[in-house]
């Protein structure tokens, strides 16, 4: 989905930059800000918006894999080593949505006797689209969730929540996100009408017909 990987990475990198500034790890923070700038420039041409339709470009697997790799390296560097560091569980909150997606997708496919690498149409953004949201609506829901979880990471770090409680809350949050994505019609009336595609009832009729 246009803009999704870039926006998720931008939010996570910005959060890492802020948190590492509180631990005095200027090196990781500086790298995060530099990558943020590169991603922000790319998002001008990748966001699902009206202003960039004539100049929109596609990221592809190579771009999303690079962003994921860089973000993973930065999170490891920020949470490991000597001196004040971020808690490893705090970094899980920063990249929560991609991790929830990965874990749920793997579990779902293995449970059905399929390879975890076999594609399907049951990802979070597919669930939102199938529930009747437009591309911009699905994008807004996922980015809002990602931003909320990043803010949770900041709160947990500042409040010094024990790792055991933080990880337990992270797992419960993941379960809640999965349930929400599979009942995405609950979010229908939260978003403005222009971000929706069809009414939930129409989606059910279309699904039965298919």
Tokens of 165: 């409680």
**82 shares its domain with 155:** no
Per the CB < 8 A criterion, the answer to whether 45 and 52 are in contact is yes
**95 shares its domain with 157:** yes
Among 41, 61, 86, give the residue marking a domain's end: 86
pLDDT, one tens digit per residue, over 126-140 is 888 888 888 888 898
Among 33, 51, 86, give the residue marking a domain's end: 86
Residue 121's pLDDT is what? 85
**184 shares its domain with 115:** yes
pLDDT, one tens digit per residue, over 51-65 is 777 887 888 888 899
Does the pLDDT at position 177 exceed 60?
A: yes
Phi, psi of 32 (to 5 degrees): -60, -45
Mean pLDDT across the chain, nearest whole number? 87
Residue 169's pLDDT is what? 97
pTM assigned to the model: 0.85
Tokens of 187: 């979010």
Residue 70's pLDDT is what? 94
* Structural domain count of the chain: 2
Among 38, 71, 86, give the residue marking a domain's end: 86
The angle at the Cα of 81, spanning 80 to 83, to the nearest 5 degrees, equals 115
Query: Which domain range does residue 9 map to?
Result: 1-86
For residue 186, name the pLDDT band (cuts at 50, 70, 90): confident
81: Cβ contacts below 8 Å, ≥ 6 apart: none
What is the C-alpha to C-alpha distance for residues 101 and 114, in angstroms, rounded to an integer? Answer: 16
Does the pLDDT at position 208 exceed 80?
A: no
Does the pLDDT at position 50 exceed 70?
A: yes
Phi, psi of 112 (to 5 degrees): -90, 5
| Mean pLDDT to the nearest integer, 131-155 | 91
Question: How far separated are the first and last CA of the chain, in Å rounded?
Answer: 23
Q: Which of 78-92, 148-162, 181-195 has the lowest mean pLDDT?
A: 181-195
**24 shares its domain with 105:** no
**72 shares its domain with 30:** yes
**93 shares its domain with 167:** yes
H/E stretch holding 200 reads helix 200-209
**61 shares its domain with 113:** no
Q: Which of 7-11, 44-48, 190-194 has the lowest mean pLDDT?
A: 190-194
H/E stretch holding 21 reads helix 4-23
**129 shares its domain with 203:** yes
What is the C-alpha to C-alpha distance for residues 161 and 152, in angstroms, rounded to an integer? Answer: 11
What is the C-alpha to C-alpha distance for residues 209 and 8, in angstroms, rounded to an integer? Answer: 34
Helix (H, G, I), strand (E, B) or coil at 133: strand
What is the C-alpha to C-alpha distance for residues 208 and 210, in angstroms, rounded to an integer? Answer: 5
Tokens of 208: 């039965």
Q: How far is residue 85 CA from its own chain's centroid?
A: 23
**28 shares its domain with 114:** no
For residue 192, name the pLDDT band (cuts at 50, 70, 90): low
Per the CB < 8 A criterion, the answer to whether 15 and 154 are in contact is yes
Q: Which of 68-82, 91-105, 177-191 has the lowest mean pLDDT?
A: 177-191
**51 shares its domain with 96:** no
**127 shares its domain with 77:** no
**118 shares its domain with 64:** no
């Amino acid at each position: 989905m246009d803009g999704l990987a870039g926006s998720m990475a931008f939010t996570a990198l910005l959060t890492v930059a802020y948190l590492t500034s509180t631990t005095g790890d200027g090196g990781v923070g500086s790298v995060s800000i530099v990558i943020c700038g590169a991603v922000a420039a790319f998002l001008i041409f990748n966001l699902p918006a009206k202003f960039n339709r004539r100049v929109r470009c596609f990221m592809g697997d190579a771009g999303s894999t690079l962003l994921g790799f860089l973000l993973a390296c930065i999170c490891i560097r920020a949470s490991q080593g000597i001196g004040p560091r971020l808690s490893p569980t705090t970094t899980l909150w920063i990249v929560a949505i991609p991790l929830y997606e990965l874990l749920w997708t793997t579990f779902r496919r293995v449970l059905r006797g399929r390879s975890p690498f076999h594609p399907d149409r049951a990802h979070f953004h597919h669930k939102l689209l199938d529930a009747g949201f437009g591309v911009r609506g699905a994008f807004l829901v996922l980015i809002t969730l990602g931003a909320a979880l990043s803010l949770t990471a900041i709160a947990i770090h500042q409040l010094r929540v024990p790792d055991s409680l933080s990880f337990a809350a992270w797992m419960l949050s993941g379960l809640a996100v999965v349930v929400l994505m599979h009942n995405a019609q609950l979010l229908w009336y939260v978003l403005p009408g222009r971000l929706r595609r069809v009414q939930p009832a129409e989606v059910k009729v279309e699904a039965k017909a298919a």
